[in-house]
Structure 1
Amino acid sequence: MSDVADLAARGAWKQTESLTLLREVMGLESGVRAHLASATGLSETEVQALEHLSRRPIGPAEIARLLDVSTAASTGIVDRLEAKGHVERRPHGRDRRRTEVVLTDSARREVVSHLGAMFRSIAEVDASLTEEERVVVVRFLRGAITAAEAAS
């Protein structure tokens, strides 16, 4: 019996359609990452690093922490991404002793070329929501993120 089924049997968990769909979406992440890695010739770890860098520039040590790899491994990941033109190392804006890694525009274009159709479809679904519906969805997703982060 799965853990979720066990929780449901004890009345601690009610498997609703929204929870089932959220688990399905969460499970799709690794498949999307694998597809992008295959399409771009990157490793899944390199794709994961690009995901983090798409949010904001970060340093190699933070990349290591986020990917749960050594700083030496993080340096190798950044070296490979830099050699492929996907990232640039720049001096940190406030601390010149530090380096930050920045996603390049060409990396963004390559990701969009492979995942753009998915991004557009998701944007269409989002655009179909009313503001009231979006508020509910955002509240649900923020709560799910908080719960998932607490578990990791």
Structure 2
Amino acid sequence: MGEHSEFTRAVRDLVLAGERFRARAGRRRGLSRSSVTVLTTLFLDGPRGPSALAALLDITTASTTELVDRLEALGHVVRRPHPRDRRKLLVELTDSGSRVVEEIFGSFSARVEASSGAMSAQERQAVLGFVRAVNENLAQDDPGVGEGAAS
């Protein structure tokens, strides 16, 4: 495995397995990976503005508008005026969107929970701390990007 540890490889494989799960779940429902991410985010975190969704997906606001248009045409989301700033919109799930996400996230959650079923509470807390730390580290900008780093 060269300089990369078995531990790092296992995390990479986990990330890829999650991506494949999201792709399959979306494909079965005629949705893109990005659509699944948006629907799941709205389900877990509540309504979001288009700019927040663009930042989440790391895409342009124009691409986000197209994505929200597609989800709205499918009846999965609606745009509503922001309650405190009339210049802004919020995107929120419809009942249809909630049902789709409940299917996808319910399956995901069941698989994750089944995988941790034999763990003690202390082991679960250790894994949870690790996953949160990796998430935080991966969310940071790559210091090599834009500095002549090889891609």
**TM-score of the aligned structures, taking structure 2 as reference length:** 0.77
Whole-angstrom distance in 2 between the partners of 1:106 and 1:25:
29
Unmatched segments (≥5 aa) in structure 1? none
- What is aligned with 1:25? 14
Q: CA RMSD of the aligned region, Å? A: 2.3
Tell whether 2:64 aligns with 1:74: yes
**CA distance 1:103–1:127, shift in 2 (3 Å):** farther
Farther off after superposition, 79-88 or 125-134: 125-134
The counterpart of 1:147, out of the listed 117, 137, 141, is: 137
Alpha-carbon distance, 1:126 to partner: 3.7
Q: Give percent identity, aligned residues only.
A: 35
Letter aligned with residue 113 of structure 1: E
Query: Displacement of 1:151 after TM fit?
Result: 4.5
Q: Structure 2 CA distance, aligned partners of 1:83 and 1:76? A: 11
Bigger helix fraction: 1
Change in Cα spacing, 1:144 to 1:106, as seen in structure 2 (3 Å) is same
The residue that corresponds to 1:94 in the other structure is 84
Structure 2, unmatched stretches of 5+, are: 143-151
AA aligned to 2:123 is: E
* Matched AA of 2:71: L
| Residue of structure 1 in register with 2:123 after alignment | 133
Matched length: 141
Query: 1:39, 1:114 within 8 Å by CA — same for their partners in 2?
Result: no
1:57-114 C-alpha deviation (Å, 9 max, x unpaired): 2111222222233222211211110111111212223323211111233223223335
Distance in 2 separating the partners of 1:55 and 1:29: 17
Deviation at 1:121, TM superposition (A): 2.8
Which residue in 2 is equivalent to 1:109?
Answer: 99
| Contact 2:80–2:92, Cα closer than 8 Å, also in 1 | yes
